[in-house]
Amino acid sequence: MKDINVLIIGNGNDNHIVRFLTNLKKKLPEVKIDFYDYGNNKNAKCKDLCEHIYGPSPFFHFIHRVLNKLFKIKFGIYLSYWFGFYRLKKHYDIANIHFVMPNLLWSMKIIKKKCKNLVLTPWGSDVLRQNENAIKILQLIYNKSDYVTAPITGFRNKVKEIFNISEDKFYDTAFGSDMIDLIAANNDLSKSEAKSKLGFDEKFIITVGYNANPAHHHIEIIEQINKVRNKLPENLLIVLPMSYYVTSKQHIIDVKELLHKYNLEYYCFEKYISNDELLLIRKCSDVFIHAQTTDAASASLTEYLLTDNIVLNASWLAYPQLEQYGIPYYKFDTLDEIGNLLVYAITNPTEHTTNQSLKKYIKTLGWDSCSNKWADFYRTIAKQ
């Protein structure tokens, strides 16, 4: 079987990348992966899954830091990226950029020379949280791509509209979820058992967000919960998974201080959460509130839907691929609506639920299924 030589460009320390490479190699044994790490980290988490790890030129990266500190001149970063790609020794069947950054524009010509197929995999914030100038630069990068991977979601529609991408350039695949596979394998684990295992017996649990990023609006949601607390179950426990994407430790402090101020009982997960613990968090929750600013295709949201939670979801986070089976969550248009909607949802828990058709679809979003799509995609374009 002929090897498929692939260059992955991204953050080698990101757990999503590690899971992607792990599952890809299971389904595509002929793949040979080199990795270009944005941070030039030779000891990145993904190192054992790759043949070689490359990265930006250390010399020009040093020049960039000096020029940026002294004169606020940033062109050194572009040179460091360019020389890093220039040193690549192979010609690849596929170069796949994960999390597409404007900094890559000045390297696009040499990346194209180094590969037969250039694939872009936007993650969400690399598109949705960019300013106008960055979007103009990204447009030039997307123009040079051969394929863009994105599932059929509201996010894909936004990418298509922003960069004027033709439909035939898209390939319908995305990162899978280990947790969806784990939930499906533990269908017999009940909500009460999950609560007991976490020490949350007899509690009514509202889970707020799924990481520590302030974009989840933890503060605003807690304010809303406090406004209607007299209408909520007396055994209320607020659960906050905040072990990763810690962009500001002060934010976690502020959230906990607010909970103390309102005398709201809570549990904050700040240390590493294992998959087994994540399974229990998903299973034990009664309500999940999702108010993130942007979200490309929330695996966490689907995991809570699969475990029969009452889910409150921001209307600006569109998931047409889920809503084709009926609306499985209660929608709010502004953060100020969360409190009253929460009371309504708890009082009317069967108005929006996850039906069996949607559950069947969600189970196809696990890595066991998604990795097959990636393997098929890579094999197909490598042969062209």
Per-residue pLDDT tens for 73-84?
565 567 788 888
* 68 & 206 share domain: no
* 99 & 41 share domain: yes
* 45 & 165 share domain: yes
* 187 & 334 share domain: yes
* 192 & 82 share domain: no
Domain count, the chain: 2
* 295 & 330 share domain: yes
* 210 & 356 share domain: yes
* 201 & 163 share domain: no
* 30 & 164 share domain: yes
* 156 & 242 share domain: no
| Burial of residue 10 (number of CB atoms within 10 Å: 0-12, 13-18, 19+) | buried
Q: Residue 184: give its domain's CATH number.
A: 3.40.50.2000
Contact assessment for residue 275 and residue 182, using Cβ atoms and an 8 Å cutoff = yes
* 148 & 183 share domain: no
Per-residue pLDDT of the chain (384 residues; tens, 9 = 90+): 799 999 999 999 998 999 999 999 999 999 999 999 988 777 889 999 999 999 887 765 666 566 566 556 565 567 788 888 998 989 999 999 999 999 999 999 999 999 999 999 999 888 888 899 999 999 999 999 999 999 877 788 899 999 999 999 999 999 999 999 999 999 999 999 999 999 999 999 999 999 999 999 999 999 999 999 999 999 999 999 999 888 889 999 999 999 999 999 999 999 989 999 999 999 999 999 999 988 766 789 999 999 999 999 999 987 888 999 999 999 999 999 999 999 999 999 999 999 999 999 999 999 999 999 999 999 999 998
| CB contact burial 336-367 (16+ within 10 A = b; e otherwise) | ebbbebbbbbbeeeeebbbeeebbebbbebbb
Expressed as residue numbers, the domain containing 373 is 4-176+366-383
**What pTM, to 2 d.p., does this model score?**
0.84
* 293 & 375 share domain: no
Q: How high is the pLDDT of residue 64?
A: 57
Please tell me the distance from the alpha carbon of residue 119 to that of residue 98, in angstroms, as a whole number. Answer: 9
Closest to 334 measured CA to CA, from 312, 311, 303: 312
